[in-house]
Amino acid sequence: DAKTTQPTSMDCAEGRAANLPCNHSTISGNEYVYWYRQIHSQGPQYIIHGLKNNETNEMASLIITEDRKSSTLILPHATLRDTAVYYCIVRVDNAGNMLTFGGGTRLMVKP
Amino acid sequence: ETGVTQSPTHLIKTRGQQVTLRCSSQSGHNTVSWYQQALGQGPQFIFQYYREEENGRGNFPPRFSGLQFPNYSSELNVNALELDDSALYLCASSEKDSNYGYTFGSGTRLTVV
């Protein structure tokens, strides 16, 4: 699986959009971009995934650049409960494959 | 629809002992994976089970072993515990070849003293 690079930490004001970047310059054509988050004392939670088109669900939006070398997870209206570590993972879309977690981005949403 | 449940939530063991952690997968999920998460780090893949057989393994020694049962629940066994085995152990379930993400449990916090 391709390696990802994320900022170690970010702050966001409550109610504002949180934009979390991820670089994956060595991504292969058959690798998807997945985002998970881990709230303190809980297991990771699946957020969203995509291949090359932008995706949106009830939790977030995923914007993938045209060359697929980077992506951005957008939480449109961050709340205090969105404070968590966010992991960007790229992998072949096969549930038989493991998830390779990096260090993630620690997002702190402040009032 | 129930999620992934793990037991126990916390456990303290002595170095050299053996431990068994348990996981009940989400309804409808037939694949179970186990991860180890040391403090301040991302989860690391231990192994995955599908149809009661190991279906992939990470860089962990043989003293880490597992089982999957016909109802898709699973156990993680660790023999000869070492201090460095102290971590949060996470179980995740999914459908084989599903296009969607894994569902994780809240984990078992193991402390080896």
Percentage of residues in chain A with pLDDT exceeding 70?
A: 94
| Residues B54 and B48: beta-carbon distance below 8 Å | yes
pLDDT value of residue B55: 87
Q: Looking at the partner chain, which of B50, B58, B90 has a beta carbon nearest the beta carbon of A43?
A: B90
Q: Judge: B97–A94 Cβ closer than 8 Å, yes or no.
A: yes
Give the SS3 label for residue B19. strand
Q: What single letter denotes the amino acid at residue B78?
A: V
Q: Judge: A101–B94 Cβ closer than 8 Å, yes or no.
A: no
pLDDT at B30 over 90: no
**């569902």: which residue's tokens?**
B103
CA torsion through residues B82, B84, B90, B94, sign: negative
Give the SS3 label for residue B86. coil
pLDDT at B34 over 80: yes
Of the two residues A38 and B1, the one the predictor is more confident about is A38
Q: Judge: A103–B42 Cβ closer than 8 Å, yes or no.
A: yes
pLDDT at B71 over 80: yes
pLDDT value of residue B8: 97
Q: Judge: A101–B44 Cβ closer than 8 Å, yes or no.
A: yes
**What is the enclosing helix (H) or strand (E) of A81?**
none
Name which of B50, B48, B94, B45 is nearest B69 in CA terms. Answer: B50
Residue of A nearest to B41 (CA): A103
Which of A30, A99, A100, A106 to mutate to probe the B interface, most B CBs <10 Å? A99
- pLDDT tens track for A25-70: 999 888 899 999 999 989 999 999 999 999 999 999 999 999 999 9
pLDDT tier at A2 (50, 70, 90 boundaries)? Answer: low
pLDDT tier at A98 (50, 70, 90 boundaries)? Answer: confident
